[in-house]
């Protein structure tokens, strides 16, 4: 991928916001278990950073996805995983389908304020009984006159205690599981929407996550995105961006882990010499950085193909799988070299270790990525070879 001056410019803009408006507050937000989504998103929205690849007519910058990916990569410089994830939910998880398939009216009503940072969005797919197995969701949207009446519940919903609207995947018919679903926008102030208290998580502490309950929630049918029954397909498409985002937004974090660990091991003396002078240590760090660079190269390739309009589901799934595992390896390997300091709660590497554990679980677990890759490679039982 070739980066232009425009690419560099938007990257610098993001970097400045992180340095001024985000990193100085990360410790506080982590401690409080939440961050001020409306306040921060407004700041990002004012700079156009929430709509990089979104249509100009709704306030977006109208750039191609390579710019979006670059901004996502810059988010990895944030000193925790929660804030990149929260931003990613807004830009790459809850709104891509809306931007592509929503009616003009729906986009004006929800996409425009999401891009401006006036409204906070959540994507509501997972349920207590169906996480990565999206087709098994039970939440139902029944037609009643011009409305849908929604019943069910959604689990592990990022941004949800602060969200203004949810992009909900629900069953809208009794058809087969892949053609009976629709994506529907549900404003959180609709009567019958109830949000649980914040869930207590291993990591991603400053991101709010909750369970959502729908009890006869009534929304107009015009809040549906695209055609009825197309929800599963649109969500699968939307997942491509989500997965590319997940990969992009952790690369700088991994760079940071390696470089800060190297700095620490250079200063730290044991047995009369800097820790870093142990061959095992400097070789290990070199290897971790090498793996990160390889993922970065593959990501750029996937982004390029995605910009060209290709279906990159296979490569995006491979990248998500590999990066989830690599993130664990890098954070774990680096943490080890910090010794007792690495086990302390407020240590940055320790935080990334906890936060990055989600990558192999959220947005489709590793096992689900493998299932998708198998399918694309024609390896599943019943698939024809050759």
In this structure, the number of other CB atoms found within 10 A of the CB of residue 265 comes to: 22
**Interface map 229-268 toward other proteins (x if CB under 8 A):** ----------------------------------------
Phi-psi region of 364 (alpha: psi -120 to 50; beta: other; left: phi over 0): left
Contacts with other proteins in 330-369 (CB under 8 A)? 332, 335-336, 339-340, 342-346, 350, 353-354, 357-358, 360-362, 365-367
Q: Does 152 bind other proteins (CB under 8 A)?
A: no
Report residue 259 as tokens.
């470089």
Considering only 20, 138, 178, 269, the residue that binds other proteins (CB under 8 A) is 269
- The size of the interface with other proteins (CB under 8 A), counted in residues, is 46
Residue 287's alpha-carbon distances to 83, 262, 281, 293, in angstroms, are 28, 13, 10, 10
- Reported as type and span, the H/E element at residue 218 is strand 209-220
Q: Does 200 bind other proteins (CB under 8 A)?
A: yes
Contacts with other proteins in 72-101 (CB under 8 A)? none
Nearer to other proteins, 48 or 203 (CB): 203
Nearer to other proteins, 103 or 132 (CB): 132
Q: Does 328 bind other proteins (CB under 8 A)?
A: yes
Nearer to other proteins, 280 or 386 (CB): 280
The reply to whether 242 belongs to the active site is yes
Burial class (CB in 10 A: 0-12, 13-18, 19+), 244: buried
Q: Does 126 bind other proteins (CB under 8 A)?
A: yes
Closest distance of CB 134 from other proteins, Å: 10
Q: Does 130 bind other proteins (CB under 8 A)?
A: yes
CA 195 to chain CA centroid, nearest Å: 21
Q: Does 202 bind other proteins (CB under 8 A)?
A: yes
Rounded to whole angstroms, how far apart are CA atoms 71 and 65? 10
Residues 312 and 374: beta-carbon distance below 8 Å = no
Residues 87 and 42: beta-carbon distance below 8 Å = no
The residue annotated as part of the active site, out of 9, 242, 304, 310, is 242
Residues 6+ apart with CB under 8 A from 176: none
DSSP type of residue 93: I
The binding site for other proteins (CB under 8 A) comprises: 126, 129-133, 135-136, 155-156, 199-204, 269-272, 278, 280-281, 328, 332, 335-336, 339-340, 342-346, 350, 353-354, 357-358, 360-362, 365-367, 370
Residue positions annotated with a catalytic role = 242
């Amino acid at each position: 991928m070739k980066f232009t001056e425009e690419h560099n410019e938007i990257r610098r803009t993001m970097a400045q916001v992180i340095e001024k408006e985000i990193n100085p507050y990360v410790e506080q937000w982590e401690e409080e278990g939440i961050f001020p989504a409306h306040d921060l998103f407004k700041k990002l929205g004012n700079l156009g950073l929430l709509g990089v690849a979104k249509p100009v007519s709704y306030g977006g910058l109208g750039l191609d996805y390579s710019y979006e990916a670059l901004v996502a990569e810059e988010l990895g410089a944030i000193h925790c995983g929660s804030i990149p994830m929260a931003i990613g939910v807004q830009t790459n998880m809850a709104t891509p389908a809306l931007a592509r398939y929503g009616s003009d009216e729906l986009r004006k009503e929800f996409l425009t304020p999401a891009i401006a940072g006036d409204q906070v969005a959540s994507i509501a797919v997972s349920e207590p009984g169906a996480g990565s197995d999206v087709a098994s969701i039970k939440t139902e949207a029944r037609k009643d006159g011009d409305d849908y009446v929604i019943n069910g519940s959604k689990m592990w919903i990022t941004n949800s205690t602060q969200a203004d609207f949810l992009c909900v995947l629900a069953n809208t018919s009794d058809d087969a599981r892949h053609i009976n679903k629709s994506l529907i926008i549900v404003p959180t102030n609709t009567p019958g929407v109830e949000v649980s208290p914040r869930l207590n998580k291993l990591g991603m502490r400053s991101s709010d996550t909750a369970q959502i309950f729908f009890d006869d929630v009534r929304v107009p049918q015009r809040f549906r995105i695209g055609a009825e029954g197309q929800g599963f397909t649109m969500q699968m498409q939307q997942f491509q961006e989500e997965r590319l985002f997940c990969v992009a937004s952790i690369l700088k974090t991994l760079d940071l882990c390696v470089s800060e660990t190297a700095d620490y091991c250079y200063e730290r003396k044991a047995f009369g010499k800097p820790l870093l002078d142990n061959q095992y240590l400097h070789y290990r760090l070199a290897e971790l950085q090498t793996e990160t660079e390889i993922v970065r190269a593959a990501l750029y390739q996937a982004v390029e193909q995605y910009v060209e309009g290709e279906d990159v589901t296979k490569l995006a799934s491979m990248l998500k799988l590999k990066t989830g595992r690599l993130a664990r390896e890098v954070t774990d390997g680096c943490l080890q070299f910090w010794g007792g300091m690495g086990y302390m709660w407020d240590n940055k590497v320790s935080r990334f270790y906890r936060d990055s554990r989600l990558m192999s679980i959220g947005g489709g677990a590793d096992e689900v990525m493998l299932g998708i890759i198998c399918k694309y490679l024609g390896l599943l039982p019943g698939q024809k070879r050759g």
